[in-house]
Structure 1
Amino acid sequence: MKQNALLTASIAPLLKRLTWPVMGGMLTLMSFNLVDTFFISLLGTQQLAAISFTFPVTFTLISLAIGLSIGTSAVIAKALGSGNEDDAKSDSLSALWLSAILVFVLALLGLLFLDPLFLLLGASDEILLYIREYMVIWLAGSVLLVSPMIGNAILRAAGETKIPSLVMASGGLVNAVLDPILIFGFGPIPSMAMQGAALATVISWLTGFVFIIYWLSVKRGLLTRWFLPWRQWLSICRKILHIGLPAAGANMLTPLAMAVLTAIMASYGPEAVAAFGVGARIESIACLVVLALSMTLPPVISQNFGAAQFSRVKQAYELCCRFVLGWQAVIYLILALLAYPISALFTDHPQVAEYLRWFIWIMPVAYGLQGIIILTNSSFNALHLPAKAVVLSVFRLFICYVPLAWVGGVLFGVVGVFIGCIIANLITASVAYYWYHRVLQRFA
């Protein structure tokens, strides 16, 4: 697909053409992550609870990488939309180095404060042993996670979605194949349990790292050198961080809120934590289309923003919002009908299964509204308005989500937590949709 298609093609077919490859890659990746959770669940409820406790921490690093990829995509897409291809190449190289350095620092802090952090989240000493086995390896290899994510953002900014999808899919496939081998052992390979699950993940990241660096440097010629002059690098980093740091901060608010919700769940026992962790992974599959659109919509918005085609910006946003509301309604009906077999697949513990069924019957009701929030956040970043995305995230998570979930828990227990989350998404989606249209009026 030609780069200028983002500026000239009809919006609906364009988004469809960009999004389907991303959906394929994400579906493969997330399906294999769900397989990862399934294999860990076979080790026992304590191990399943342990992997659930790790989610807020692992997602913090992933959120930093996502935020930096958002900044990278917005900067490069605007440069391409303005016709500055050389600037886009320099931006690409700077983003790869910047992200690797920042993730390394955050991972090092995670290793230093591992035990007190998870004890603060409510993990027991027994569960902490399993957490430690998993997280030491995961954090040590996490720098390999960020380069494929940034490389994918570079390609998506140029309108290329097939290769990023292949990177995601290949990494997920490697992880799924290695999971049972390393967790349970095979032939001369010993059983490594939680360590095996983490090692499988790191090896899958290494696969994506090698693939994306090869593609960017050899196939696409986007990395024609490995270093930039110090002052030029700093100048580009400031551009990326202007959007990427607030975007990363906004994304990091999600695992922070998840950490609070995990602590709330921990007050109901490890069964509630285990069910919540599985539910969160099911949610990632259920919201697949929303997440794919949140990756493909920003380059369309940024390039048209750079070309001053503001009517196309508005059209793309509204089309996506209408679509996700209808799509997620269908997804809810499917999940609600499959609640019993899904819960039986992941656990034979009656209490965990009951909590998981309630999660499936309640939480997906608001996934369409949650989609509007996610798309609005990504659209603000694409318009180079990261502060607004941060404010929206703070409002959703800490003015609505966590307080209403806590109140619901006090009134109705675990089920009340889920109900509170639904109400929070309803309020925030209404505010997000109205606010975004007010902002667009400034450009129209």
Structure 2
Amino acid sequence: MTTGSVSPKLASLAWPLVVGNLLQTFYNLADMFWVGRVGTAAVAAVSLMFPTSWLFVSLAMGLTAGSVALVSQHIGAGDDRAADNVVAQTTLLTVIVGIALSSVGYAFRHPLLTLVGAEGAVYVQALQYIEVLFFSIPFTFLFFVFRAVLRGAGDTRTAMWLMVLSAGLNVVLDPILILGFGPIDGMGTQGAAVATLIARVFAAIVGVYVLLRGNWGIQLRPEDLTPDWPVLKRLISIGYPATIDGAARSFAAVAMAALVARFGPVPTAAYGVGVRLMSVSWTISGAVGQATATGVGQNLGAKSPDRAAEVTWKATVGTLGILFAAGGLMVAFPGIAMRVFTNDPAVVEEGISFLRIIGPFLSFFGGLMVIQGGFRGAGDTRVAMALSFLSRWVLRIPVALLLAYGWTLQFGPIALSGMTWGVGGLWWAWSISALGSFVVGVLWFSLGHWRQGVLEEEQRQATAD
């Protein structure tokens, strides 16, 4: 990513990430498709648990944010051995954290379900789903290490092929375990979680094997698996804002799901399907943002900040164009999209309303993710975190309370009187927050404070010492 025309190299780096992320989304869509054959309560249960499961995925992404920045900048600077050490330290850190989170989540699963508003049959099926999913967390974290370090080195295709195999395994197992086949009894929502667990264990084992082989530009060296405290400190320093960012995003998703749940199972089911349809666009913009992070990191390591900026702006414009077209399809054909996952007329009707409000603003969700990728590649994860807080906790949640529940918000001498738009107010809160946070993100990146990369900062600190 440090030489030649930016756009073709960015596309070459991004398309395997897009495919990999789409396959990750295919996991979720396949779960929802087959769970939808069980009943509305099962759909609502998985919908409520989706933000919670995404919380742990976001934490894994946060933990590996430091490795992307460090590996990419070491590769750009030509120091491959230092990059290998970062791989080992990232693996050590994420495995320890993954096991700890899995244990804590399982211990507090009952209060968690009560917190998000699960009741009756939805509570029972959500519990069956989340209990199994907690066991998959350490393996999920290992796979994210694999993806992150290869991405930092500029190899996105190897992870894509592993995702193809893992997603294919999940898709085959879903109908068998959810609905039953031959001597295997259907397990409902629990079957969806078991299929996910098996697929993630497979991906983690193969990913570790690939890293140990070291034939793909980066290597996991067993002798490096002892704590290297300066590197661990740097990983935590860069990664903790991204981890907080991931947690804040996921807790905001849990909070929104809880706000929707207060309107009943029909809006909850419609919301779950709608968010999964939106997640297709997030996989595209998330992949482009990941490619942007690699491009920015490698160019800052090679001391080419202007080229790093060019990578970010071209990635942002391309993403806006693609997602504007996708949003147009959502607005034009919302009923067709909803009926793929549910035949309940009430759920379809509410889902149509959701997609028509969200669709015109879909591109701004993606544009912000690309801008955040630019900041993460520079190692400036605190700004990316601040933009996530702005989008969700400063704009989305307060606006949701204002428009859907009629709350009055007080800002010093200024009071905003609430509306009572009902569940539609929640859908508008998504759209308003997307536009506002994107504008702020563009202006913030334009200031250029990110141009000093992590390695340059380390060198300046070493000189000062």
Same topology, TM > 0.5: yes
Aligned equivalent of 2:205: 210
Aligned equivalent of 2:73: 78
In structure 2, give the amino acid aligned to 1:426. L
**How far apart, CA to CA, are the structure 2 residues paired with 1:216 and 1:443?**
30
8 A contact 1:167–1:208 mirrored in 2: yes
Aligned equivalent of 1:3: none
**332 and 214 in structure 1: CA distance in 2 versus 1, 3 angstrom threshold:** same
- State the 1:33 CA deviation: 2.2
**How far apart, CA to CA, are the structure 2 residues paired with 1:270 and 1:148?**
34
In structure 1, give the amino acid aligned to 2:427. F
> SS at the partner of 2:224?
coil
Match of 2:194 among 199, 219, 235: 199
Aligned equivalent of 1:436: 445
In structure 2, give the amino acid aligned to 1:353. V
Match of 1:314 among 309, 315, 323: 309
Across the two proteins, how many residue pairs are aligned to each other?
A: 438
- State the 1:341 CA deviation: 1.5
8 A contact 1:408–1:418 mirrored in 2: no
8 A contact 2:300–2:451 mirrored in 1: no
Match of 1:182 among 174, 177, 182: 177
In structure 2, give the amino acid aligned to 1:25. G
Q: Where do 1:265-344 residues align within 5 Å?
A: 265-344=260-339
Aligned equivalent of 1:360: 355
8 A contact 2:91–2:145 mirrored in 1: yes
In structure 1, give the amino acid aligned to 2:112. L
In structure 1, give the amino acid aligned to 2:139. L
**How far apart, CA to CA, are the structure 1 residues paired with 2:185 and 2:222?**
39
8 A contact 2:375–2:450 mirrored in 1: no
In structure 1, give the amino acid aligned to 2:173. L
Q: Where do 1:41-440 residues align within 5 Å?
A: 41-220=36-215, 222-223=218-219, 225-228=221-224, 230-232=226-228, 234-410=229-405, 411-440=420-449
> SS at the partner of 2:286?
helix
- Residues 255-294 of structure 1 show CA distances to partners (whole Å, capped at 9, x for unaligned) of 1111111111011101111111111111111333211101
Query: Percent of aligned positions with the same letter in both sequences?
Result: 27
Tell which deviates more after alignment, 284-293 or 299-308.
Answer: 284-293
- Residues 12-62 of structure 1 show CA distances to partners (whole Å, capped at 9, x for unaligned) of 011111111222222233224212111011111111110011122111110
- State the 1:335 CA deviation: 1.9
In structure 1, give the amino acid aligned to 2:222. W
8 A contact 2:214–2:220 mirrored in 1: no
In structure 1, give the amino acid aligned to 2:250. P
**How far apart, CA to CA, are the structure 2 residues paired with 1:208 and 1:441?**
34
In structure 2, give the amino acid aligned to 1:428. S
8 A contact 2:92–2:225 mirrored in 1: no
8 A contact 1:110–1:139 mirrored in 2: yes
8 A contact 1:107–1:142 mirrored in 2: yes
In structure 1, give the amino acid aligned to 2:25. M
- State the 1:441 CA deviation: 8.3
- Residues 321-380 of structure 1 show CA distances to partners (whole Å, capped at 9, x for unaligned) of 111221111111112222112222222222211111111111122121112221222221
**How far apart, CA to CA, are the structure 2 residues paired with 1:424 and 1:224?**
41
**123 and 229 in structure 1: CA distance in 2 versus 1, 3 angstrom threshold:** closer
**How far apart, CA to CA, are the structure 2 residues paired with 1:354 and 1:138?**
31
**How far apart, CA to CA, are the structure 2 residues paired with 1:171 and 1:165?**
10
In structure 2, give the amino acid aligned to 1:97. L
**How far apart, CA to CA, are the structure 1 residues paired with 2:96 and 2:66?**
16
8 A contact 1:33–1:172 mirrored in 2: no
**How far apart, CA to CA, are the structure 2 residues paired with 1:9 and 1:94?**
32
Q: TM-score, normalised by structure 2?
A: 0.91
**How far apart, CA to CA, are the structure 1 residues paired with 2:39 and 2:450?**
54
**How far apart, CA to CA, are the structure 2 residues paired with 1:94 and 1:180?**
38
- State the 1:442 CA deviation: 6.2
8 A contact 1:73–1:154 mirrored in 2: yes
In structure 1, give the amino acid aligned to 2:448. V
**245 and 227 in structure 1: CA distance in 2 versus 1, 3 angstrom threshold:** farther
**How far apart, CA to CA, are the structure 1 residues paired with 2:280 and 2:193?**
21
**How far apart, CA to CA, are the structure 2 residues paired with 1:223 and 1:31?**
29
8 A contact 1:314–1:440 mirrored in 2: no
- Residues 239-260 of structure 1 show CA distances to partners (whole Å, capped at 9, x for unaligned) of 1111111111112111111111
Q: What are structure 2's unaligned runs of at least 5 residues? A: 406-419, 454-465
> SS at the partner of 2:397?
helix
> SS at the partner of 2:158?
helix
> SS at the partner of 2:117?
coil
8 A contact 2:327–2:363 mirrored in 1: no
8 A contact 2:129–2:190 mirrored in 1: yes
8 A contact 1:370–1:429 mirrored in 2: yes
- State the 1:229 CA deviation: 6.7
Aligned equivalent of 2:462: none
Q: TM-score, normalised by structure 1?
A: 0.95
> SS at the partner of 1:192?
coil
- State the 1:219 CA deviation: 5.0
**How far apart, CA to CA, are the structure 2 residues paired with 1:325 and 1:61?**
28
